[in-house]
Amino acid sequence: MMIVTGGAGFIGSNLVQGLNARGISDILVVDDLSDGRKSLNLSDANIRDYLDKDDFLVRVEKGEAFGSIEAVFHEGACSTTTEWDGRYMMKVNFEYTKTMLSWCVARKIPFIYASSAAVYGMGPTFREEREFENPLNVYAYSKFLFDCHLRARMRGIFSQVAGLRYFNVYGPREQHKGAMASVAFHMDTQLQNSGRLRLFEGSDGYGPGEQRRDFIHVDDVVAVNLWLLDNPQVSGIFNIGTGRAQSFNDVARAAIDWYRQQREDHSFGGIDYIPFPDHLRGRYQSFTEADLSALRAAGFDRPFMNAATGVARYLDWLHRG
């Protein structure tokens, strides 16, 4: 059996789909369905069982084994970067993950968990080393502190443990995330509503819309997770991005180009640049780019989609008939 925590969420539900594509349906999904809209992410999936995250934690803390488990994918977390309730964030993201780690290590179950590129703060170097880590909010700190906890324990662990520092992930099954959904998702909404996109004016030395981030399609994220499942000898903390920063203008042009092709109207769409918000100054990542050296050295050599390919694939999914 596979366990996927956060399995009704964005990355988790896509991972369930990836497992299903391999013919694997013996899956226990763990999540919090207080927001019942997330259940729709699993409506076309095949799973064996579901448990609420709190009920699951109680059983884990009691030492229950749940039968034969091939791997645990721990995607569950509070991912709202604007949440400043530190007690809640540390309980859900840090303490929960520590409990899961200890439970898996004691049973030699591979443990693949979601970290975040937010641990790097403003950068500009995005490499999996302590000197480059400087979290700027409590969400990032919760992810950073668990990575530190793992580093201190790693020498005494003899089963697979892999932490994945996701960069800017976009793709299917994120509609429930609201304001936390990807740039590509919000661009699609804007184009449907007004035919125009709104991007920030220049900041941090970048021109209008030229702030650059490492945008990665969720299918590529799933591919790395499944590769780790196939390679249980690989452990460590790894960046998961394309390794190539692209501008918000690049993503915008990809979305506009898709709409123009669908409508057969090459005049459709445009970009308006709006003032950079004062409350984001000093807290905005104007540049992110994953250093993939560690992931490539571990043996993952598959190329990642660029924004043009990935955004088109995503919009195809959003507008499927």
Choose, from 50, 53, 98, 177, the residue flagged as catalytic: 177
Cα–Cα dist 321/127, whole Å: 41
Q: What is the dihedral of CA 312, 255, 223, 177, to 10 degrees?
A: -130
Closest of 233, 295, 218 to residue 13, by C-alpha: 218
pLDDT more than 70, % of the chain: 100
Q: Give the SS3 label for residue 141.
A: helix
Q: Is the pLDDT of residue 300 over 70?
A: yes
Q: State the amino acid at position 166 in one-letter form.
A: Y
Cα–Cα dist 246/212, whole Å: 5
Closest of 33, 46, 30 to residue 100, by C-alpha: 30
Cα–Cα dist 233/244, whole Å: 27
Cα–Cα dist 225/58, whole Å: 26
Q: How far does the chain reach from its first CA to its final CA, in angstroms?
A: 34
Cα–Cα dist 7/33, whole Å: 10
Residue 321 confidence (pLDDT): 63
**Mean pLDDT over residues 225-244, rounded?**
98
Closest of 88, 55, 111 to residue 235, by C-alpha: 111
- Kindly indicate the confidence band of residue 315, based on its pLDDT and cuts at 50, 70 and 90: very high
Q: Give the SS3 label for residue 89.
A: helix
Residue 258 confidence (pLDDT): 98
- Write down the mean pLDDT value for the chain: 95
> Could you tell me whether strands 215-217 and 271-274 are parallel, antiparallel, or unpaired per DSSP bridges?
unpaired
> Which DSSP letter does residue 98 get?
H
Closest of 258, 260, 240 to residue 317, by C-alpha: 258
Domains, the chain, in order of start with CATH, read 2-168+217-243+289-305 (3.40.50.720)
pTM: 0.95
Residue 286 buriedness (CB in 10 A; 0-12 / 13-18 / 19+): buried
Q: Is the pLDDT of residue 245 over 70?
A: yes
Give the model confidence (pLDDT) of 50-100 as tens digits.
999 999 999 999 998 899 999 999 999 987 777 778 899 999 999 999 999
Q: What are phi and psi of 202, to 5 degrees?
A: -60, 150
Treating both helix axes as pointing N-terminal to C-terminal, what angle do 183-193 and 248-263 enclose, rounded to 10 degrees?
A: 40
**Does the annotation count 314 as an active-site position?**
no
Between CA 174 and CA 129, with CA 250 as vertex, the angle to 5 degrees is 70
Choose, from 96, 113, 120, 139, the residue flagged as catalytic: 139
Tokens 């196939």: give the residue.
Answer: 230
CB 7 within 8 A of CB 31: yes
**Mean pLDDT over residues 103-119, rounded?**
97
Provide the H-helix boundaries in 166-266: 183-193, 218-230, 248-263
Closest of 294, 201, 283 to residue 248, by C-alpha: 201
Q: What is the DSSP string of 36-57?
A: GGGGGGGTT---SEEEEHHHHH
Structural Rg of the chain based on CA atoms? 20
**Does the annotation count 50 as an active-site position?**
no
Cα–Cα dist 85/41, whole Å: 27
> Which DSSP letter does residue 6 get?
T
Supply 45's token pair.
């999936």
